[in-house]
Structure 1
Amino acid sequence: MIRKCLSNPNKVFTARLRKPDGQGGTAWSHWEISAVQDLSGAVSELCCIGYDITDSELAQRQTQEYARKIDTILETITDGFLLLDHDWRFVKVNAVAEKKIGFCREELVGKCFWDLYPDTEDYNYPAAYKKAMREGISVMFQDYRPQSGQWYEITAYPSEEGLTILFKDVTDKKLAEDQVRDTNTKLTAILNSTSDINILIDADYRVISFNKMAQESMRKFYDNRELAVGQNILEYVLPGTEEDFVRHFQSALSGIPVETKIKLAFKPGLALWFLVKYFPVYDPDQKVIGVAFNSTNIDKQQRQYEHLSEIASLYSHEIRRPVATILGITQLVNEDQLSLENKEWFGYLTKTTRELDRVIHRIVRQTSKIE
């Protein structure tokens, strides 16, 4: 630097110098040096002006490092990335965007976006990008490219530099959603055709979905009260049954299905029997994420069973008692004192009574098997 100054008097040369700061770091300084001539034109002295630029140098280096990290992130993300200036020219393009657009970044940077992508109402992006740039708001939307049969999910963020665009191919996701939607439509049709109440509940007792019968039953039993997604199912559990419901629900959440019968008294004069089932619901990783609640109205069957139980009780107690009495009396009769004719009739009586007793036992046993 000194040699340059001596060879070029009156010209200013600059340099940045660094040295250890004594604390394990580096101190930076900026210098301006010039050779000063005397009246005879000979160099008489060097004029040096220096100042500390350590903070700005560190800030610049941090900025450069941050920029490198940002570039690394942009090159590793799976989304396409575009940065457009306020004149709609490409400023930055990542590798994914290059691949999707079909041009390398050197061909794109500096070119106008609208030269490659037409400003047409056939797609959502023209209106969305203009709105984001004009109103200074973020926009998120989807667009379909019929030429390639691909769906894209796009987000655009306005900034001082212009417009940042992130996009990703969601074709597989859309196809999967269509399949799920079709499956859900069929499943909903099946569930709505049954007379069972079916409610899907998450682990926090919130309603996720339900069938038509569940909605109609809530209206019928709860005075036109509506069942809605997001509601807490405990709001519909009848007083006195909350503890059992929570216990069965938690059992299903632990992976153990539950099946139980319960008689519910909704209001005076309206008490019905239900067969209630709690099934664990699993995600693709086999983790329990909720409970499928199924309820079948078995009031008619239960009342029939109760009638059968009453009949069995009648046979078991009211009819069997006199039969047992007759059998007891036959044990007391001394057949040796009976005439030949009476012995014959006594044998018929004993045999018939024992047969009747066996029939009563069979009726009671068969009735006890009914659940």
Structure 2
Amino acid sequence: MDNASHTDQTNPRELRFRKLIEHSYAGITLLDHELKVVYRSPSAERITGWSLINRTGQAVTSLVHPDDALVLHQILLRVYAQPGEPVTTRFRTRHYAGHYITIDCTLTNLLDEPEVEAIVFNFVDVTKQVEREAQQQQSRKAESEASQTSAKLEGILDSITDGFFTADADQRYTYVNKRLCQMVGLTAQEMIGRQVWDVFPDAVGSTTYDSIQEALHEKHFVRSEDYYAPLDLWQENRVYPGADGFSMFIQDITNRKKADEQLRLLFDRAPDMIGILGLDRYFKRVNPAMCSQLEYAEKQLLDTSLDHLVHPDDVEVSRDRTEAFIASDNQTMYFENRFLTKSGKAIWLSWTVTRSANEKQLFCVGKDISDKKEIENLLHKANQLARIGSWEVDRVNGTAYWSPITREIYEVPESFVPSANNWLSFYRQGADRDYIAGKMANTIATGKPCDAEVVLVTALGNLRWVRAMAEAEFRDGECVRVYGSFQDIDQRKRAELAATAALAERNAILESIGDGFFAVDSNWIVTYWNATAEKNTGKPRETMLGKYFWDIYKDVLDLEFYRSYQHAMREATAVHFEDYYPAMQAWFAVSAYPSENGLSVFFRDISESKRTMQALAESEKRYSDLFHLSPQPMFVYAMDTLKYLDVNEAAIAHYGYSHKEFLAMTILDIRPAEDIPLVQQTVDLHQYQEKVILHGIFRHRKKNGELINVDIQSNVITYQGIKAKVVLANDVTERLQYIKAIEAQNEKLREISWMQSHVVRAPLARIMALLPMLELPAERNTEQQLIYDYLVASANDLDQVIHSITDATCDINLK
């Protein structure tokens, strides 16, 4: 395994831990089950001179000094036999330069640990220590040489970064280096000769204490880590027993421990989900945030397969993604998918997955992006509603991209492939194509964003207004990418054009209406003054537009004009009023309508109408006099309610009701019950007729109960703003009685006529029948002839008289 490559695969938190290892004093090597090297720390390379490349695949025993091979073989048997138990030894191994060095090592069998799967080989170069020991043996022969060796060794020990001391069999200090003095804040004189536990009584019973006792009693190297609270010191202890005592290296690992603690706190307190996932798709470790957001207890999560956590619709994609990542050389992977919480709620998560030092595990960091996804969904819906599509052109490789909405706007088929040039064919030749092409060319040349509204012709031949926006990306002064959006603004644009036409039409209407019209903004600046306003006021448009209204009409500040306009603007309510303008000696009817932009005013010269109304008022007075002074009963009733609105004195006198009683009644209250349907039918029949109506004869009931016959005539009027009818009621009771008497006489005459035509006429008929039967002599005298003629003439005359009487009696008609 390449060390640099391995570092690249490590996430930042593991990298910090890795650096602590790589810069440690001791060397670290990982061996597989065949004792072949799979990893070497930089310190191991520094000690032995062998790089990972040179040692990969080689057994550790291949470099052992022949004299030490048997010892190492026995140690390795113990290592295999005692998984997890550290085994220490010392042997010589060949340096890359060709010489042998002596190392003290600790081997720990972690082949069965899934996160390690290796024999951990920690070692330190004790060649110099061995040499020193040899020199110490030689010092008995040569005191001066021993003194020099001791001084040299002290110099070396004083220069190392670890604390170091030696102690005799009674555990009294015999030597301390400068670094140790710095670490504990004591001088060498304060420590040498004193027992370790007299100097540090608080350490009795600690891990450090136990390690020293173990090394002395068991006569083997002991490594341990311990925290000494009085000094706030985390320390790594390496205890080496000797014949007359022991020596001990103390490395200050406080920073590393604090870093580890910070990592632990970060893991446990991070708001994002953090987990270590095995290749079996089970989490090996999860932080509280993951438990909280997925609603599981930690053990439940660790016992639940990832396939049961991922949304069912995403499981297959999840498996394929993981397998592809493991098979690839990528170190990091980012993706988004859905998870199901314990309660069944689907949430969106974004994941960043990194390979860990253990190739069989993945380091995963997840973040709940459900809110972001909801916003994206709303944005997508907004784009759908707003009909906004994106596009992009890569000018380097000549490719183009259109989003689905853009393709919908252009109405292109699925098989259509956009390019850097074919988009222009959708715009009509001439002004439209030249306009959009020029805009885009300017963006590509200058980098100035493009924002244009233009008509395109879709693939289906439909004309559509679009808003085209574009921006350019430059690299080394060259435009390499153009991107932007297309928005379907067809409905809005057509509405704008229609509004423009409507505005023009409105202006035309305002110019053609008979009313004067002007508009002011919220600051009383005149913004519109139509032709009728010019004509009625005598003020040209150019003298009014842009002017402060009250500067021009200072003389109305005490008039209703000013008060009503100010009220309309202030209260945002429409006003309608009439006022007299002395300067023009004219009356005006005004309607003012407020808006967000100001006030719109319609006005009309009603001077003539005022004069007419005055004349009408005088006419109404005369009419009122005629109404109340009429000798015939008259009354006014409302056409919708049939209630009396007014009655004259003649009606009060004739019917017996007071004026107050009349006003509390309707026209049905003076009718007999059996006549009401007929009255209602007559009212409905003539409701919309404006002319004078002769209704005919109706019966009315006076207050005393007397029924009278009246001849009704009515006409529609407006009475005090109410649509009404004025009625003239002529009492024809006596006239009808007189007519009935005459009709009785006529009946008698008709009886006489019948008698004449039947009783008298019968004998006459016989006479007239006999006359032709009389035979006169052939030679009759004049007297006989005269008598005969007289008889015939008399009979005819009598017959004519009878006919005349009969005809006369039949022709009598009193209506």
Per-residue Cα deviation, 1:283-326 (whole angstroms, up to 9, x for no partner): 9xxxxx97542124577x679979xx7xx99xx9xxxxxxxxxx
Which of 512, 518, 533 is the aligned partner of 1:97? 533
Which of 668, 680, 697 is the aligned partner of 1:260? 697
Describe the shift of the 1:206–1:273 C-alpha distance in structure 2 as closer, same or farther (beyond 3 A).
closer
- Conserved 8 A contact 2:534-2:540: yes
Which structure has the greater CA radius of gyration? 2
Is 1:163 matched up with 2:602? Answer: no
Describe the shift of the 1:210–1:81 C-alpha distance in structure 2 as closer, same or farther (beyond 3 A).
same
Is 1:82 matched up with 2:488? Answer: no
Instruction: Give the superposition deviation at 1:133.
Output: 1.4
Instruction: Give the superposition deviation at 1:262.
Output: 4.2
Partner Cα separation in structure 2 for residue 252 and residue 53 of structure 1: 60
Is 1:25 matched up with 2:463? Answer: yes
- Conserved 8 A contact 2:469-2:484: yes
- Conserved 8 A contact 2:630-2:650: no
Instruction: Give the superposition deviation at 1:221.
Output: 2.7
Q: So what's the TM-score if we normalise by structure 2?
A: 0.32
Instruction: Give the superposition deviation at 1:37.
Output: 6.0
Is 1:233 matched up with 2:670? Answer: no
- Conserved 8 A contact 1:252-1:279: no
- Conserved 8 A contact 2:635-2:648: no
Is 1:65 matched up with 2:522? Answer: no
| 3-state SS of paired residue (1:137) | coil
Instruction: Give the superposition deviation at 1:261.
Output: 6.9
- Conserved 8 A contact 2:519-2:598: yes
Q: Counterparts in 2 of 1:186-205, with a 5 A limit?
A: 186-201=622-637, 204=640
Instruction: Give the superposition deviation at 1:186.
Output: 0.4
Describe the shift of the 1:44–1:115 C-alpha distance in structure 2 as closer, same or farther (beyond 3 A).
closer
- Conserved 8 A contact 2:517-2:529: yes
Partner Cα separation in structure 2 for residue 99 and residue 182 of structure 1: 32
Letter in 2 for 1:28: V
Letter in 1 for 2:507: D
Which of 723, 727, 740 is the aligned partner of 1:293? 727
Alignment match, 1:52: 487
Instruction: Give the superposition deviation at 1:156.
Output: 1.1
Partner Cα separation in structure 2 for residue 116 and residue 223 of structure 1: 55
- Conserved 8 A contact 1:156-1:166: yes
Instruction: Give the superposition deviation at 1:271.
Output: 1.9
Q: How many residues align?
A: 302
Which of 597, 608, 615 is the aligned partner of 1:179? 615
Describe the shift of the 1:93–1:275 C-alpha distance in structure 2 as closer, same or farther (beyond 3 A).
same
Partner Cα separation in structure 2 for residue 162 and residue 242 of structure 1: 57
- Conserved 8 A contact 2:671-2:701: no
Instruction: Give the superposition deviation at 1:132.
Output: 1.2
Per-residue Cα deviation, 1:153-177 (whole angstroms, up to 9, x for no partner): 1011221111121111222322222
Letter in 2 for 1:193: L
Per-residue Cα deviation, 1:58-97 (whole angstroms, up to 9, x for no partner): 4433432332233233223222222211111112222222
Per-residue Cα deviation, 1:254-281 (whole angstroms, up to 9, x for no partner): 77624437463534xx526453322455
Alignment match, 2:712: 277
- Conserved 8 A contact 2:644-2:663: no
Letter in 2 for 1:31: M
Instruction: Give the superposition deviation at 1:26.
Output: 1.3
Letter in 2 for 1:239: A
Is 1:141 matched up with 2:577? Answer: yes
Describe the shift of the 1:15–1:200 C-alpha distance in structure 2 as closer, same or farther (beyond 3 A).
same
| 3-state SS of paired residue (1:185) | helix
- % same residue: 21
Partner Cα separation in structure 1 for residue 732 and residue 441 of structure 2: 106
Q: 5+ unaligned residues in a row in structure 1: which ranges?
A: 284-288, 317-368
- Conserved 8 A contact 1:305-1:370: no
RMSD: 4.3
Partner Cα separation in structure 1 for residue 673 and residue 682 of structure 2: 16
- Conserved 8 A contact 1:277-1:295: yes
Per-residue Cα deviation, 1:21-75 (whole angstroms, up to 9, x for no partner): 336331413233558462xx5x454635343252543443343233223323322
Per-residue Cα deviation, 1:2-28 (whole angstroms, up to 9, x for no partner): 66567x644445544431133633141
Alignment match, 2:152: none
Q: Counterparts in 2 of 1:5-44, with a 5 A limit?
A: 9-12=446-449, 14-21=451-458, 22=460, 24-32=462-470, 34=472, 36=474, 38=476, 43=478
- Conserved 8 A contact 1:278-1:291: no
Describe the shift of the 1:227–1:94 C-alpha distance in structure 2 as closer, same or farther (beyond 3 A).
same
Partner Cα separation in structure 2 for residue 130 and residue 84 of structure 1: 12
Farther-moved stretch of structure 1 (198-207 vs 121-130): 198-207
- Conserved 8 A contact 2:472-2:479: no
| 3-state SS of paired residue (2:584) | coil
Instruction: Give the superposition deviation at 1:239.
Output: 2.8
Describe the shift of the 1:241–1:217 C-alpha distance in structure 2 as closer, same or farther (beyond 3 A).
farther
Letter in 1 for 2:713: Y
Which of 106, 113, 117 is the aligned partner of 2:542? 106
- Conserved 8 A contact 1:85-1:161: yes
Partner Cα separation in structure 2 for residue 51 and residue 250 of structure 1: 65
Partner Cα separation in structure 2 for residue 121 and residue 197 of structure 1: 52
| 3-state SS of paired residue (2:484) | strand
- Conserved 8 A contact 2:631-2:650: no
Q: 5+ unaligned residues in a row in structure 2: which ranges?
A: 1-437, 749-812
Partner Cα separation in structure 1 for residue 493 and residue 562 of structure 2: 42
- Conserved 8 A contact 1:9-1:35: no
Describe the shift of the 1:223–1:149 C-alpha distance in structure 2 as closer, same or farther (beyond 3 A).
closer
- Conserved 8 A contact 2:672-2:699: no
Letter in 2 for 1:182: E
Higher relative contact order (CA 8 A, sep 6+): 1
| 3-state SS of paired residue (1:52) | strand
Partner Cα separation in structure 1 for residue 642 and residue 450 of structure 2: 74
Partner Cα separation in structure 2 for residue 97 and residue 53 of structure 1: 43
Describe the shift of the 1:214–1:82 C-alpha distance in structure 2 as closer, same or farther (beyond 3 A).
farther
| 3-state SS of paired residue (2:566) | helix
Letter in 2 for 1:142: E
- Conserved 8 A contact 2:536-2:605: no
| 3-state SS of paired residue (1:175) | helix
